[in-house]
Structure 1
Amino acid sequence: MPDKKLFLLTTALITIGIICSYTLSAYTVILFEYNDFHFVGRELTVAIISILLMWGLAQLDPDVWLHRLGLWLFFGGIVLMLVMPFLPASLVSEVGGAKRWIKLFGFSLAPVEYFKIGFVYFLAWSFSRKLGHHGNMGVMEEFKRFFPYAAIFVLVMFLIAFLQNDLGQVVVLALTLAFMLFFAGSSFRFFMTLIGGSVSFFLFFILTSEHRINRILSWWATAQSTVLAFFPESIAKHLRIDNGEEAYQIGHSLNAIHNGGVFGTGLGGGTFKLGFLSEVHTDFVLAGIAEEFGFIGVFAVVFLFIMLLHRLFKIANRSHNDTAYLFSLGVGLLITFAFMVNAYGISGLTPIKGISVPFLSYGGSTMMASAIGIGMVLMLSKKIEYKSGDKK
């Protein structure tokens, strides 16, 4: 039987996402003169499809379907991202000069969301075949072994960071790749070398893009007072920006979180969603939850995510097949890093990256792709053999 707890936890998060798409989209509905149920209707449709798809995948034989589906998502995602810049405007939605969504039957499809699941499967499948324990290998030998994956990731960075102008997704994929590589058997020394190299690459991407530099400065103008309080004044005065433009979105997000307090303003009672936070039901959904449901609501959401990740990592730990182990782990890492990048961004700890919260943020592609990833893990969970006395 598929892991029922994992299925129920995912369904619970999807249900919360449906509620958020209704209560947090009020201003956008009024502004664009949509029907009151415009967003919740679309989200509910995708949610039902996602839940049915997740459970349907769970019934399939992983020995037959996991490999096919995983590679189809990987190569299909690459092809779609390659052709998107050349598709006509009638088929591709363009925002800020970047083409990230394909219009399909009234919905917008984001290929990168599905590609991420395929990318994790490709790494799990390839790592289980090519990598093993590092033994006495030096860093250079490990890097030679890693070089083909580095070349693939450079292609991924080009497709996502340059063609789609979406560095946030690259950050999530880079962190997932690094940690999967470590759990696949690479040494801690090589892991830290890889993290250091990744940081250098991201600094290069930031420093060569004016809008990314401005975003960093805008974030720092808001966060500097808190951070520099821990530094001696002799150092802080050299790091302080006196006339930087404050990131108003982060400011309103923090105010919304503060306004929610412990118990929140109640369902539909939030005020910062009324034009202060633009489209709070998408990237700022956690701030909206914090205002309307307070600390208690945020705690409940975090608890559900922790329980979800616990099930994913438990399935990974019980898997006797290396591919199943790494894939289940990778799906958990994708969800973890997406949640953390979003949570840190809306709380002002890091710059905002435009990463959606899995299952909670409004958006069909994010929800459906995440559901596919969970469905594939549910497919694998049927093969798990629990030890006698071990709780399922």
Structure 2
Amino acid sequence: MADRKLFALVCVLIGISVLLTYSLSVYFTIFSGVGEFHFAIRQFIFGTISIFIMWSLAQGDPDRHLSPVGFTLFIGSAFLMIIMPFLPDFLVTAVGGAKRWIKVFGFSLAPVEFFKVGFVYFLAWSFSRKLGHHGDMGIKEEFIRFAPYGIVFIGAMFVIAFVQNDLGQVVVLGLTLLFMLMFAGSSFRFFLSLLLGALLFFLFFIFTAEHRILRIKSWWALAQNSVLDMLPARLATALRVPTEVEPYQIGHSLNAIHNGGLFGTGVANGTFKLGFLSEVHTDFVLAGLAEEFGFMGILFVTLLFMWMLQRIFKIANRTRSTSTYLFSIGIGLLLAFAFLVNAYGISGITPIKGISVPFLSYGGSAVMAASFGIGMILMASKKAKME
């Protein structure tokens, strides 16, 4: 029997997302000229489909169905991402010159969301066959062993970061890959080497795009005072960003969080969703949640999310299959990093990356893709020794 607690926890998070979408999208519905229930109804449809996806996958036999589903997601979504720039405009939706969504029956789906789940399955499947404990292996041998995966990741990174102009997804995927390598048996020394290389690549991507530089400056303009006060005056002066760089979104996000206090302003009573935070029901959903439900609302959702991760990691720990173990760990890491990157961004700790909150942010692609990952874990849980 599949893990019922994990299924129920995800269903509760999806239900909360429908409520938040209705409450937080009020300004955007007026701005877009649609009915007040427009986005809530769409999120309800996405959520219902996602729950059905999880339930359907949970009925499958992991020995027969897990691999076909995983490779279909990996190969199919990779193919779509590659051909998207060449598709006509009536089939794709472009934002900022980057084609990220494919139009299907009046909805827009982002292949990159499904690619992340498929990529994690590919890594888990391959790591379980090619990697193992590093033993006395030198770092050079570890790099040689890792090289094929590095080439695949660099290819994916090029498509996502340059073709689709979405660096945030690369950050989440890169972190997931690094930690999966640790669980697959690589040495800590190799992990640190890859982490340093990833930081250098990250800086390269930032300084090759003007909009990313401006985003970093916007974040630093807000965070610099608390940091520069601890540095020598000469160094602080050199690092200070001119005040004309306006931390617009982060500033309003922090004000929304502060306005919520301990218990919040109440459902539909938030003010910063009224044009101050753009599309607050998507990337800034946690800021909207904090304003209307306060610290207690954030705490409740965080505990639900942590409970969900605990069930995922428990399934991973109880399974006998190495590939299933790594896949479950990878999906848990993927969801955890997305939550943390978003939470750190809206609270001003790190720059905003445009990453949605799993199962909470409005959007069909993200919730359905994550549901594929959870559904595959539910399928695998039937062969794990659970309490």
Whole-angstrom distance in 2 between the partners of 1:370 and 1:298: 21
Whole-angstrom distance in 2 between the partners of 1:232 and 1:260: 36
Q: CA deviation at 1:232?
A: 4.0
For residues 282-361 of structure 1, what are the structure 2 equivalents within 5 Å? 282-361=282-361
Whole-angstrom distance in 2 between the partners of 1:243 and 1:294: 30
Q: CA deviation at 1:30?
A: 0.9
Q: CA deviation at 1:231?
A: 3.0
2:60 equivalent to 1:76: no
For residues 56-205 of structure 1, what are the structure 2 equivalents within 5 Å? 56-205=56-205
Instruction: Work out whether residues 132 and 186 of structure 1, in 8 Å CA contact, stay in contact via their aligned partners in 2.
Output: yes
Instruction: Work out whether residues 283 and 355 of structure 1, in 8 Å CA contact, stay in contact via their aligned partners in 2.
Output: yes
Whole-angstrom distance in 2 between the partners of 1:235 and 1:26: 45
The two structures, once aligned, show a CA RMSD in angstroms of 0.9
Amino acid aligned to 2:374: I
Q: Which moved more, 1:227-236 or 1:249-258?
A: 227-236
Q: Which moved more, 1:225-234 or 1:96-105?
A: 225-234
2:225 equivalent to 1:225: yes
Amino acid aligned to 1:235: L
Q: CA deviation at 1:152?
A: 0.2
Give the match for residue 45 of structure 2.
45
Amino acid aligned to 1:293: F
Amino acid aligned to 1:79: F
Structure-1-length-normalised TM-score: 0.97
Q: Which moved more, 1:232-241 or 1:242-251?
A: 232-241
Q: CA deviation at 1:226?
A: 2.3
Whole-angstrom distance in 2 between the partners of 1:367 and 1:228: 40
> Which structure 1 segments of 5+ residues have no match?
387-391
Whole-angstrom distance in 2 between the partners of 1:295 and 1:50: 28
Instruction: Work out whether residues 218 and 244 of structure 1, in 8 Å CA contact, stay in contact via their aligned partners in 2.
Output: no
For residues 258-269 of structure 1, what are the structure 2 equivalents within 5 Å? 258-269=258-269
Secondary structure, aligned partner of 1:320: coil
Whole-angstrom distance in 2 between the partners of 1:162 and 1:32: 29
- Give the number of equivalent residue pairs: 387
Whole-angstrom distance in 1 between the partners of 2:151 and 2:186: 18
2:378 equivalent to 1:378: yes
Q: CA deviation at 1:310?
A: 0.4
Whole-angstrom distance in 1 between the partners of 2:285 and 2:185: 37
Amino acid aligned to 1:26: V
Percent identity between the two aligned chains: 65
Q: CA deviation at 1:212?
A: 1.1
Secondary structure, aligned partner of 1:103: strand
Q: Which moved more, 1:210-219 or 1:117-126?
A: 210-219
Give the match for residue 257 of structure 2.
257
Instruction: Work out whether residues 217 and 244 of structure 1, in 8 Å CA contact, stay in contact via their aligned partners in 2.
Output: no
Q: CA deviation at 1:230?
A: 3.4
Secondary structure, aligned partner of 1:198: helix
Q: CA deviation at 1:218?
A: 1.3
Q: CA deviation at 1:53?
A: 1.1
Q: CA deviation at 1:228?
A: 2.3
Deviations 1:111-133 (A, max 9, x none): 00000000000000000000010
For residues 13-52 of structure 1, what are the structure 2 equivalents within 5 Å? 13-52=13-52
Q: CA deviation at 1:234?
A: 4.3
Q: CA deviation at 1:158?
A: 1.0
